[in-house]
Amino acid sequence: MEASLKNLRMRFTASMGLLSGALLLVLSVILCLAVYVSSEITAAAILDAMLENPDKEVTDDMGRPSFAFYSDGISYTILPAYADRLAGYGDAEDDIVSAAVAADHGKFDFDGMYFRVSSSALPGGSKVYAVIDRTSDHNNITTTVSLVVLIYITSLVVAVLFFYLYSSYALAPVAESMQKQRDLIANASHELKTPLTVIATNLAVMKSEPQSTIEENAKWMDAIEAQIKRMNGLIVSMLQLSKIENAPPPFADVDLSEITEGACLGFDALCFEKGLRLMTKIAPGIRVLGDRDALDRLVASLLDNATKYCDEKGKIGLTLSADNRRARLCVLNTGEAVSDEDAKHIFERFYRSDGARRNPDGNSFGLGLAIARATVLAHGGNIECHGIAGKGTVFEVTLPLSKTSARRTHKRNNSAVADSARDLPGECDSYDAESSLPPSSEGDGDEV
């Protein structure tokens, strides 16, 4: 995985570096072209102005020297308005004029100096020439290009370094997904290893006694069937978790109170069989936007978890309430409280801790709470777990209300439950020692 992640980081950095380099190159070329075109346009404008009024001195706002003269191809005459400018070139005056006449129109250079010339024909065969010194433009463009290249290289190096460092953050979800996939394969392989070993062993025993009857092999066949059911349960749970995480179900306005009551009724017989007391306090008419089947499995999963880890002859409490914005479902079971460390990891796939959250029947794969968490997150809610020392463990789920339920809840002045599970640890002293549930007045709670 480390090699794959490193390869992804390099590819991400390379692709972003190429993209940044292309963008910076385009901006650099545009900047250089803007400087060049600007100098060319202003130089051409000066030359046109000089040719339109040869006898009138034209001054360049950018300070570039310019001059004009008449020539018949053999000799030349400097226009009086520009006599002092041409004289500034000293002994090179005649050579510059000759080069200008030879170029006639366009650019030319002489002795490290760069010029641009334009001409206009006059009656009699002579011409008037306008010349502007572009040496400063050439130097400015050269300097600009050098600076732009330096800035480009520096910016590209900085961008590559930035994207390489940023890639660890940008690819964090990918790394997490890869790690989860790796853990999933490892944990699933570990979970499947035991039932497959049992099946192989039982088959080997049956093969060693080919004359035995079906009745004589019944216990081996029952063991194989049990292990097949166990593997099937693992596969179904994995598929369910993958479906929730990758393809959230379609949502509708559903009655969470009705769903919760139905789930509680389904656990009535189980709690009675185990000698547990199920106490509920469900506010009516709480509606959320979600998938009915997924929410039913969520409530059932929390109740199933509570019955598994509740102490003998213990109590299970369930409360459902709502404020103006969110529904709050709390499930509490008495017994050994989950530790703070276990509470941090209890929703992870295949996580099973020692002590209170161990696997008592060998049929738990540590996926139930992971599926519950994925379901809650898919519905835009939040789920938490914490233990109450000497009392038990609380799971708290909050889900956003649907618009219709939010309006009705806003009109109600009180909810079915005054305390939230978040407040439970701070109010342990107010719990009944017998039930480990919030004390309530007669008629406030229901015993299923």
Domain containing 12 — which CATH number?
A: 3.30.450
H/E stretch holding 356 reads none
**pLDDT of res. 352:** 65
Query: Is the CB of residue 228 less than 8 Å from the CB of residue 270?
Result: no
Could you write out the DSSP letters of every residue in 31-74? HHHHHHHHHHHHHHHHHHHHHHSTTS----TT---EEEEEE-SS
Comparing 433 with 104, which gets the higher pLDDT? Answer: 104
Of the chain, the end-to-end C-alpha distance in Å amounts to 50
- Pair (204, 290) in one structural domain: no
- Pair (38, 111) in one structural domain: yes
406 band by pLDDT with thresholds 50, 70 and 90: low
- Pair (93, 122) in one structural domain: yes
Which of 140, 169, 197 represents a domain boundary (last residue)?
Answer: 140
H/E stretch holding 383 reads strand 382-388
- Pair (104, 210) in one structural domain: no
- Pair (258, 374) in one structural domain: yes
**pLDDT of res. 363:** 54
**pLDDT of res. 445:** 46
**pLDDT of res. 212:** 83
C-alpha separations of 78 from 47, 74, 199, 204 in Å: 15, 14, 111, 116
Question: Quick check: is 166 in a domain?
Answer: no
Strand-pair category, 277-282 with 315-322 = parallel
Q: What is the pLDDT of residues 219-272, one digit of tens each?
A: 888 888 888 887 887 777 777 777 776 776 778 899 999 999 998 988 888 888
- Pair (341, 231) in one structural domain: no
User: Which residues are paired to 392 by β-bridges?
Assistant: 334, 388
pLDDT at 149 over 70: yes
| For residues 171-199, average pLDDT | 76
CATH of the domain at 377: 3.30.565.10
408 band by pLDDT with thresholds 50, 70 and 90: low
Work out the percent of the chain whose per-residue pLDDT is above 70. Answer: 84
Q: What is the pLDDT of residues 44-60, one digit of tens each?
A: 999 999 988 888 888 88
Comparing 282 with 176, which gets the higher pLDDT? Answer: 282
Lowest mean per-residue pLDDT among 135-149, 152-166, 416-430: 416-430
- Pair (388, 415) in one structural domain: yes
Backbone angles phi, psi at 259, to 5 degrees: -60, -45
pLDDT at 355 over 70: no
- Pair (236, 257) in one structural domain: no
- Pair (301, 442) in one structural domain: yes
How many domains would you assign to the chain?
Answer: 3
Give me the half-sphere count of Cα atoms (radius 13 Å) on the Cβ side of residue 254.
Answer: 17
- Pair (129, 207) in one structural domain: no
231: tokens are 């593997």
- Pair (27, 8) in one structural domain: yes
143 band by pLDDT with thresholds 50, 70 and 90: very high
Q: What is the pTM of this model?
A: 0.54
Which of 244, 266, 290 represents a domain boundary (last residue)?
Answer: 244
397: tokens are 């789920």
What's the domain range around 433?
Answer: 252-447
pLDDT at 396 over 90: yes
| For residues 284-288, average pLDDT | 90
Q: What is the rounded CA–CA span in Å between residue 110 and residue 411? A: 91
